[in-house]
Structure 1
Amino acid sequence: MAKKIKAKDDSLAQNKKARHDYAISDTVEAGIALTGTEIKSVRERRITLRDGFVQVRNDEAYLMNVNISEYAEGNQFNHDPLRNRKLLLHKKQILALEEQTKNKGITIVPLKVYLKKGFAKVLIGVAKGKREYDKRQDIKKRDQQREIERTLRRRAK
């Protein structure tokens, strides 16, 4: 019997800009409370994380400013694309996130959305904004690493 081959990247949406603009120190997996038409749109990969962030209010975490497009086959009960969505986390996790965001310059950003056992999950990261010189330094390191790998491949031939 043949084994199932899992795809390399099971994410439905990624926030590549977040890894460029922020230094991610810690990540947490959270569930998202979605309506019926929202989960259908998410499964069609009609979600944008670019400007999203997480805010903790009244001991609850909310995913803000994330656009989930309206479901094409939806009717008058279709959802609002930019509504705030509640994140499903344990109380201790929420309190820890809230404590970390009290520091100046620390924010929580969504990194990617994926399905796990049929449920939509979001990977959120505790992030600190990078300065321009930090971004340039990361690009320089990445280019140097590529050059090293390129020369090693040439020598192997």
Structure 2
Amino acid sequence: MARPRPTPFEKTKIVAENRRARYEYFIETVYEAGLALTGTEVKSLRGGQGTIAEAYADIRDEQVWLINANIPEFSHGNRFNHEPKRARKLLLHEREINKLHGAVAREGMTLVPLSIYFNGKGRAKVELALAKGKKTHDKRDSIKERDWKREQGRLLRDRG
């Protein structure tokens, strides 16, 4: 019997999205992680600023860190404004961290952030994927499939 599909995460406002990740990686499992932020970082994110195009996650000392994510300084911040590209701690349960650590260490997988968003309660969350890198021929297959789907839509729209 097939396993039931997990419910999708409740995304109220998507701030940053890594659209290239689905092209570069095979996405295996997706986790929702909290994000430990300072006050000015939250204000910048609420303003719709932030990029995770070059970001990745790393496991150090039994903690998961979001590295190279850019959250620009808050425009009305004072001298206590945050550093834009600092490492930010991701909040996950210990058993999830252990699963991720095992997959990264044994199977050579990567932790890739897919998006940063605010949930229904107004908390900043990161959609974190356990992914395996694609080879060049896999990327070509993805392009062919995407083009064929676009062509199918065009044909159906013209005929129907």
TM-score (norm. length: structure 2): 0.89
Q: Show the 5 A alignment for 1:72-91.
A: 72-91=75-94
Instruction: Give, as a single letter, the amino acid of the residue that structure 1 aligns with 2:125.
Output: K
Distance 1:135 1:9, change over 3 A: farther
> Secondary structure at the residue paired with 2:106?
coil
Equivalent position of 2:146 in the other structure: 142
TM-score (norm. length: structure 1): 0.90
1:124 aligns with 2:128: yes
**1:61-107 per-position Cα deviation (integer Å, ceiling 9, x unaligned):** 11111111000000100001111111111001111111110135411
> Secondary structure at the residue paired with 1:28?
strand
Give the number of equivalent residue pairs. Answer: 149
Equivalent position of 1:100 in the other structure: 103
| TM-fit CA distance, 1:10 | 2.9
Q: Percent identity?
A: 46
Equivalent position of 1:32 in the other structure: 35
**1:22-56 per-position Cα deviation (integer Å, ceiling 9, x unaligned):** 11111000000000000001111211101111111
4+ residue runs over 3 A deviation: none
Superposition RMSD on alpha carbons, in Å? Answer: 1.4
Structure 1 unpaired stretches of 5+:
1-7
Equivalent position of 1:3 in the other structure: none
Structure with the larger strand share: 1
Aligned mates of 2:143, 2:106 — CA distance in 1 = 27
